[in-house]
Amino acid sequence: MKSSVHRFRISRTTPSQSIDKSMTPPTDERPRSDSYGTTSSTTDKPPTPSVSRSSHIPACDRCRGFKKRCSRTFPICSLCASAGQKCSFSTPASSAAAQVHHLRARVDWLTMVINEALPAGSPGIETVETGSDVSRLLQGISSNTWRSQNGTSPADVIPGNHQEIPGSGSDSGSGDQNILDQPNEAPPRLPSNAAARRFVDAYFRNVHRAYPFVDRNRILHDLETLGDFAKRRRDPGSTLLYLIMAIGCTTLERAGQIPRDTASKFDVAYTDIIQECLNREIIESVQILVLLALYSLFDPTGASPWSIVGIVSRQAMMLGLTRRATSDDHSSGSCIPAIETELRHRLYWSIYVLDRMISTSLGLPVSLTDENTDVPLPGLTIAEFASPDRPHFAVMLQTSRHVIQLRQLEDRILKQVHFRKQAEVSMLTAFDRRAILQDIRADVENWYSNGCLVSTPLEPDNVPIHNSITWLSARYYYLLLLMYYPCHFNSPLNSRSSHLTSSSSSYAFPVASASVVSQLELLRFAQKHIQSTSALFQQRQLPLNRVTLCRLFPVGLVFMQGFIAWGGTECVAHDFPASDEVLLLVNILDAFPEGWKDARRAATVLTTFLDVIAGTRTVAGTRTETTSSSRAAYHDVLEATLTAYLGLLQEVLGTATCYQFLEMSDEREVVGMDMDSGVGESMNSPLGMRRESMETGMNGINGVDTLGVVGGEEGVMGYGGWGRVEMDFL
């Protein structure tokens, strides 16, 4: 019978079988011995996993189908690359078994790459357990390598460092195991690169949301290549990285994740950096100046951010950042990449946000004043749109646009309310003022509503602040306070004034909120703003910097004006409703670090103001008639407190700030106050008409949450269509 040859094709093992096989415990492989019972000489050598590691990586699907030898390189093997075909290494797996297969292949490939990068004689990465501290292993390896080459270790080179690195002793056989098994008796200091990476991550997590003008990939690349982070070199790349780390350090200080004096270790030379940027008129210089201005907000002894922003604004206008950038309008004729075009747009809006924020805080005019600006709002780049982290980038840009809208509202309020010429204001009728303020108020309400839709709960690390409801509430009430702040625009048409008289001089309060909005409502705005700010402070979301300090000064002045209008000059303001908020304001000012002397001085003055409030309660509790001399002494103390606070406000914010609504007046006879009876003879006195109007709305303080206007149709502002502002989440 003629024999026949049968050929059988044996199929490969299914993924499920390979998984089951991989999960079985490995057998105890013993070295083979010869007939005389001696083991092979190859067993005396340590295993070299990097030599045959590539054989454990499964071949790609195409190479297995053609029975070709696969190079097993990621993300595509050499045969698939030469043939121009898709490789299974770069194709997303469709089933769970295939995903496990690809993951095992990638882990094996990464293990091979790490083992090949390790110095000769070092243990393989397989000996390190999952979750172990690899940094100590790397320190020990680098120490051994340095010692073998130079005879000393890096720790011995640093002066004053005589600590022995674990594992660098004479017992080289167990040195690496001691590195992994030695207990942590004292937490070691973070290496310079680890601390720098933490600062950079904090910057991009918090500050980059509002100022997204830095190329993250470039900064991370410089972080890996620049080396020494303790010193700043004079090139733009190292200066950018140094300032980013310094700003990120301040955010971690605010969150309480590092000691409070860590930021003081950064040595920022303002004069040298500004000089370098002025000599180099390039985009990187503008970026450095923006970062320098951001850092100066946290430096009580540094340069004025108002001056730095002025330089930045003029540099930006000179370089054409206020115009829409395209890919073919470069001055040198070369095309600008799309990502650089987008970064130029983001840089302009970052300067705009910073300029308007500082201008609003100080009550001074803005610096970036190009009326023909046509720069589009920040958008996603092509790389960010194609990235798997596209939702993260979208939320970041949404936050950036929301902050831009906030600064636009603040700029609009300053221009139309505070910086408008008095001649123009005198020509406006009551209807014109009401229309202007109602239009701004509608935009403020829309901004707050949109912010509630994009706000997120607090994150565990307490670093991001621009997406929290508490921050949104603080900014909302600050906008309302800024709109109705006492100024010539908010004063009535007959321009009355209320005076606080002393033996020598008097202070004149413009009767602002008595006719635009009620004094009660203005006081409620200030109370709600301080409550929201205090909530941010308790949640470690409040940056204790120059902007926060400057914004607290006008609020304290509103409290003082409200106290006088409530009856403080007659010692009858024992039920002043904002005394608790004044105490919260003092606590926030006391929380500033030691270097902020202006904050401590303001806290001292406001503490005296609290004593004045407590004195009125004491006088009211005794139910005795106050004599003329006692009332005059009390009056002098109150005036001295106002004088000290107003002088400090002018010193911190500037003499030309628009928030100093108190004016000195020597015309004591216009007050018409009888010091013996305590009853004012003129309607200009805050002890008559204004205190009576506030007392009629006293129920709004004692539990009623509506913010209606006291006076109804008689007031200039009649918000009949406005509902209640419900912000009682605090």
What is the average pLDDT across 468-488? 93
429's tokens: 């009728």
Distances (CA, A) of 283 to 218, 274, 341: 15, 14, 11
Tens digit of each residue's pLDDT (9 = 90 or more) over 580-632: 999 999 999 999 988 899 999 999 999 999 988 887 655 444 444 555 666 77
**Contact between 356 and 410 (Cβ < 8 Å):** yes
SS3 assignment, position 501? strand
Check whether residue 428 and residue 527 sit in a common domain.
yes
Q: Which long-range contacts (CB under 8 A, 24 or more apart) does 357-360 make?
A: 357/407, 357/410, 357/547, 358/293, 358/305, 358/306, 358/309, 358/547, 359/411, 359/414, 360/407, 360/410, 360/411, 360/414, 360/482
Residue 556 has pLDDT above 60, yes or no: yes
Closest CA to 644 of 560, 524, 706: 560
Closest CA to 59 of 105, 26, 99: 105
Query: What is the domain-level CATH number for residue 109?
Result: 4.10.240.10
Among 376, 410, 425, where does a domain finish?
376
Residue 307 has pLDDT above 60, yes or no: yes
Tens digit of each residue's pLDDT (9 = 90 or more) over 317-363: 999 999 987 765 545 455 678 888 999 999 999 999 999 999 999 99
Check whether residue 293 and residue 404 sit in a common domain.
no
**Contact between 599 and 592 (Cβ < 8 Å):** yes
**Contact between 337 and 326 (Cβ < 8 Å):** no
- Rounded CA-CA distance 227/244 in Å is 15
Closest CA to 502 of 615, 632, 627: 632
CA angle (413, 415, 417) in 5-degree steps: 55
- Rounded CA-CA distance 424/541 in Å is 41
Burial group, residue 615, by CB count within 10 angstroms (0-12, 13-18, 19+): middle
Q: Hey, which residues does 497 pair with through a beta bridge?
A: 510
- Rounded CA-CA distance 338/325 in Å is 10
In a domain, 110, yes or no: yes
Tens digit of each residue's pLDDT (9 = 90 or more) over 539-548: 888 989 999 9
- The pLDDT value recorded for residue 52 is 44
Residue 513 has pLDDT above 50, yes or no: no
What is the average pLDDT across 11-30? 45
- Rounded CA-CA distance 478/536 in Å is 14
Among 343, 376, 409, where does a domain finish?
376
Q: Around Cβ 269, how many Cβ atoms within 10 Å?
A: 11
Q: Residue 498 is which amino acid?
A: S
Helices (H), 414-456: 422-427, 430-454
Check whether residue 205 and residue 65 sit in a common domain.
no
Out of 72-86, 361-375, 550-564, 588-602, pick the least confident. 72-86
In a domain, 12, yes or no: no
For tokens 């490939």, the residue is: 109
Give the N- to C-terminal CA distance of the chain in Å, as an integer: 98
pTM listed for this prediction:
0.65
In a domain, 648, yes or no: yes
In a domain, 382, yes or no: no
Check whether residue 657 and residue 556 sit in a common domain.
yes
In a domain, 11, yes or no: no
What is the DSSP-derived secondary structure letter of residue 12? P
- Rounded CA-CA distance 279/315 in Å is 11
Q: Residue 536 is which amino acid?
A: L
729's tokens: 């989440």
Tens digit of each residue's pLDDT (9 = 90 or more) over 161-205: 333 333 333 343 333 333 333 334 443 344 456 788 889 988 998
- The pLDDT value recorded for residue 19 is 41
In a domain, 612, yes or no: yes
- The pLDDT value recorded for residue 141 is 58
**Contact between 667 and 506 (Cβ < 8 Å):** yes
For tokens 């596209």, the residue is: 390
Overall size of the chain counted in residues: 730
Distances (CA, A) of 482 to 8, 21, 396, 554, 586: 87, 71, 27, 9, 21
**Contact between 581 and 559 (Cβ < 8 Å):** yes
- Rounded CA-CA distance 263/60 in Å is 51
Q: What's the Rg (C-alpha) of the chain?
A: 35
**Contact between 474 and 448 (Cβ < 8 Å):** no
Averaged pLDDT score across all residues of the chain: 72
Of residues 26 and 103, which shows the higher confidence score?
A: 103
- The pLDDT value recorded for residue 94 is 54
For tokens 């997303």, the residue is: 92
Check whether residue 284 and residue 411 sit in a common domain.
no
Helices (H), 70-120: 78-83, 96-117
Closest CA to 569 of 403, 686, 718: 686
Tens digit of each residue's pLDDT (9 = 90 or more) over 40-64: 444 444 444 444 444 456 788 888 8
**Top-ranked range on mean pLDDT: pick from 67-71, 215-219, 546-550:** 546-550
- Rounded CA-CA distance 622/624 in Å is 5
Check whether residue 586 and residue 651 sit in a common domain.
yes
Check whether residue 460 and residue 360 sit in a common domain.
no
In a domain, 461, yes or no: yes
Check whether residue 463 and residue 363 sit in a common domain.
no
Q: How confident is the model at residue 67 (pLDDT cuts 50, 70, 90)?
A: confident
Tens digit of each residue's pLDDT (9 = 90 or more) over 681-725: 333 333 333 334 444 444 443 333 333 333 333 333 333 333 333
Residue 418 has pLDDT above 80, yes or no: yes
**Contact between 347 and 287 (Cβ < 8 Å):** yes
Check whether residue 296 and residue 407 sit in a common domain.
no
- Rounded CA-CA distance 410/124 in Å is 60
Check whether residue 363 and residue 412 sit in a common domain.
no
Share of the chain above pLDDT 90, in %: 31
Instruction: List the domain range (segments joined by +) for residue 103.
Output: 52-91+99-114
Q: How confident is the model at residue 667 (pLDDT cuts 50, 70, 90)?
A: very low
Of residues 317 and 152, which shows the higher confidence score?
A: 317
Check whether residue 363 and residue 409 sit in a common domain.
no
Give the CA dihedral 169, 175, 180, 182, nearest 10 degrees: -50
- Rounded CA-CA distance 20/464 in Å is 45
Check whether residue 478 and residue 410 sit in a common domain.
yes
Closest CA to 250 of 319, 203, 287: 203
The number of domains in the chain is 3
- Rounded CA-CA distance 530/643 in Å is 23
**Contact between 31 and 39 (Cβ < 8 Å):** yes
351's tokens: 């300067």
Residue 280 has pLDDT above 50, yes or no: yes
In a domain, 162, yes or no: no
Letter string b/e over residues 294-304, b meaning 16 or more CB atoms within 10 A of that residue's CB = bbbbbbbebbe
Share of the chain above pLDDT 70, in %: 61
Strands in 497-501's sheet, in edge-to-edge order, are 497-501, 506-510, 663-665
